[in-house]
A and B are shown apart, each in its own frame.
Chain A
Amino acid sequence: MTTTTATPTGGDRLVRRRARRVEPVYYLFLLPSLVLFTLAITVPGIIGIFFSFTNSIGIGDWELVGLTNYVAALSDPAIVQSYLFTFGFSLVTVLVVNVVAFGLAVGLTSRIRMKVGLRAVFVIPMVVSGIIIAYVFNFLFSNSLPAAGQALGIGFLETSLLANPDLAWTAIVVVTAWQAIPGALLIYIAGLLAIPGDVYEAADIDGAGRTQRLTRITLPLMTGYVAINVILGFKNFLNAYDIIVGLTGGGPGTATRSIAMTIISGFNGGDYAYQMANATIFFVVAVLIAVAQLTMTRGRSAL
């Protein structure tokens, strides 16, 4: 395609027409995933949205109730609070993850000893299952940290962070970030390695210092990677579930219940249709965020 600009008019048209016709075999390649996606995601999704307009509890008879579930859901403080918590938590975690991962990536691509070994160490949290991480940290926060706090006489650490309704979310941010940093780190390392060395040489010749090199060269050239990490991370954190279940179970009280947890509660609580309405609202919100993020980042970076 890129060569078309070099060839004159007649050949150009020919090439373009040929490129437009798609080999039918590609549609065959698409078919399995299209069928599976439709059966496993789209159809259940539509069924779920349909049931959000009923009073079904998952079994037995049901009838259409119109928008009742939506009206109730939007005025339900438990659901509203779970949205506020989830969005606040996701924003903070995205920030923490990306700042830390970026710093680590810069460090791990510079000329230091044991670079490869250190990279391996920092990536380990990514391969451990979230629920296991959560249970291990649960023990640390409930037993080890209070013991350390007592030994050192640090007042606010003496009781478990997880038992403090105002601070439990910080523990969740720490653990989630601990698990999410490696993924972001790998993308940042790849990005940093892709920056050609001659740009830095040119900067050196122009007399740029270390900080200037970071803010004027590295950061602008990394915006695409930052955008990817922020979008992917935010999307993942909105779905937060396993780490919260393992750490606080949504507690203390209802302080750390995420949206996913309230939706799941509809299945074992016999509140199927109501939480389907909640899930539909969440779906719409997620789509809006995705569209907003894409339009915001499209102009500036080559996504």
Chain B
Amino acid sequence: MRAGTRRTTAARARASAGPGRAASAVAGCLGIALAGALLTGCGPGDDEPETVRFTFSKREAIGFMTGVVDDYNASQDDVEVVLDTSGVDVVSASFVRGNPPDLMLANYNMEVSRFVERCTLSDLSDTEAAGGVREDLQPLMDQYGRCAGRTSALPYSVMASAVIYNKEIFAAHDLEVPRTWSELLDVADTLQDAGVTPFYGTFKDDWTVGQGWFDYAVGGQVDTLGFFDRLAAEGTDVGPGSATSFQQDLAEPLARMTELTTTYVNDDAASRAYGDGNLAFAQGKAAMYLQGPWALGEIAKTSPDLDVGTFPLPMTEDPDDLKVRVNVDLAAMIPQGAAHPEAARDFLEHLYRPEIIEAYNESQLGFTPTADAPPPSDPRIEGMTRYYDAGQVYQGASVLVPKTIPVFSYAQAIVLDEDPAPWLRSLDADWARLAMRQ
């Protein structure tokens, strides 16, 4: 009915022709699109294979995933998996239209977790894949919110990040990987005295400050999980008087961060961006670089043979506090409103077959979240394996703050202003205001 009336409007618009012709053509398409949306309920005939729409938009891995999908389609005739790489915004829009994909493999973050919190994803707890996932990752998933009684998403790829360091520079100055805060300062001083820039800062891109400096500094000193639980409990009370707040709990950790960013980075850090940083680090212009494994591929483009390694940023005097930052780079989800949930589950199990999930993570420098998977063999991320295996991990504080609070901008301002206090007060006020609204 609705599509019908829209179509007559469009037809009327088209009849009036003249200068509005292009516009009325648009209106016509709109009418047809609406009519089309009503028809999507019709399934294919019995003989045709069932179509599973599978969304996946991690650019670096589209080639790999296309191969997996093609092999699967060739191996059987019942299901035809269609890879949709159009990105997270399109997926969000399809939820709004009531036409979600059958299977999603997406970065697990505050944006995707909205689907979890509003219970728009189906329960995966009875799948074989769910049984194989490491249990200690569940708290990390739950941190983004959950739908009671359901396993809404399964981790597929976990990325660990820490300090990337130039092994050649470290060897040239007889330096060991620091394990405590004072050792870190010693290393930085030694490098600086020798005329080497200890850290390369790219403060122009605010996200690099957020995911690197801010997250490592907080995660290395604060129990991130507990901190955000307590913050959530305080809700609208978060502020100068509350037991837990950004200004009380993060002031000290961030003071150490600004100590590093004011003293030990390149002079032009404020006007350097992510791309500049990759290039400079690859050219050996600094000894350490606070980035995730995604930067390793970029660095290798400039200097394929550069010997680099990784270590967690030590922020305390206790080596037992060393932890690496992790994020669930990919998680698998099947929407409640999926048109072909059974076929999607079959393909999900296929994706979790050891040879596929392990090959995927090996190729992307990620950690496989299944219990019996071997660690990645790439020597560049070897330095983080020990901590990941022991569960000495945290999720970045900057990604756990809801996106509506511009925490990356605040992190950048803290580094540029060299004074965390006013920005932490803003974070508290924003947090309380958000709690009031939601």
Instruction: Determine the residue in chain B with the shortest Cβ distance to A69.
Output: B437
Known contacts A163-B204, A251-B412, A270-B403; A36/B120 CB under 8 A: no
Q: Does B9 touch A at the CB level, under 8 Å?
A: yes
27 contacts across the A-B interface (CB closer than 8 A): A29-B18, A32-B16, A32-B24, A33-B20, A35-B27, A36-B23, A36-B27, A55-B437, A57-B114, A58-B92, A59-B115, A68-B437, A76-B430, A141-B271, A142-B273, A146-B268, A160-B271, A163-B203, A163-B270, A164-B270, A165-B413, A165-B417, A252-B412, A252-B413, A268-B89, A269-B403, A270-B110
Within 59-97 of A, Cβ neighbours of B (below 8 Å) are at 59-61, 65, 68-69, 72, 75-78
Chain B residues with CB under 8 Å of A274's CB are 404, 437
Query: Is B111 a contact of A270 with CB atoms below 8 Å?
Result: yes
Q: What per-residue 1/0 map shows which CB atoms of A239-259 lie under 8 Å from chain B?
A: 000000000011111110100
Interface of B with A (CB < 8 Å)?
Answer: 9, 12-13, 16, 18, 20, 23-24, 27, 89, 92, 95-96, 110-111, 114-115, 118-120, 203-204, 206, 268, 270-273, 402-404, 406, 409-410, 412-413, 416-417, 423, 426, 429-430, 433, 436-438
Task: Decide: B95 and A55 in contact? CB cutoff 8 A.
Answer: no
Beyond contacts A163-B270, A252-B270, A270-B404: 12 other A-B pairs, Cβ-Cβ < 8 A, are A28-B16, A31-B12, A32-B23, A58-B92, A160-B204, A253-B410, A254-B409, A255-B413, A257-B406, A265-B404, A268-B403, A269-B110
Contact residues in B for A29 (Cβ distance below 8 Å): 16, 18
Chain B residues positioned under 8 Å from A57 (CB to CB): 114, 118
B433 touching A76 by the CB < 8 A rule? yes
Q: Are A32 and B118 closer than 8 Å at their CB atoms?
A: no
Residues in B whose Cβ lies below 8 Å from that of A160: 204, 268, 270-271
Q: Is the CB of A162 within 8 A of B271?
A: yes
* Nearest opposing residue in chain B for A265, CB measure: B404
A297 contacts B by Cβ under 8 Å: no
**Residue in chain A with minimal CB distance to B14:** A32
Contact of A271 among B16, B23, B204, B404 (CB under 8 A): B404
In the complex, chain A residues whose CB is within 8 Å of the CB of B27 = 35-36, 39
* Closest CB pairs A-B (n = 3): A253-B413, A160-B271, A60-B118
A218 at the interface (CB under 8 A from B): no
Closest to B433 in A: A72
Give the shortest distance, in Å, between A157 (CB) and chain B (any CB): 11
Q: A61-B118, A68-B436, A163-B270 are known contacts. Are A36 and B20 too (CB-CB below 8 A)?
A: yes
Instruction: For the complex, give the distance between the alpha carbons of A271 and B401 in Å.
Output: 13
How far in angstroms is the closest Cβ of chain B from A255?
8
Closest to B95 in A: A59
| CB under 8 Å from chain B, chain A span 131-156 | 141-143, 146
Q: How far is the CA of A270 from the CA of B116 in the complex (A)?
A: 13
Please, how many angstroms separate the alpha-carbon atoms of A257 and B405 in the complex? 13
Q: Contact: B438 with A159, CB < 8 Å?
A: no
Q: Is A48 an interface residue (CB 8 A)?
A: no
Q: Chain A residues near B111 (CB, 8 Å)?
A: 268-270
Chain A contacts for B96, CB-based, 8 A: 58-59
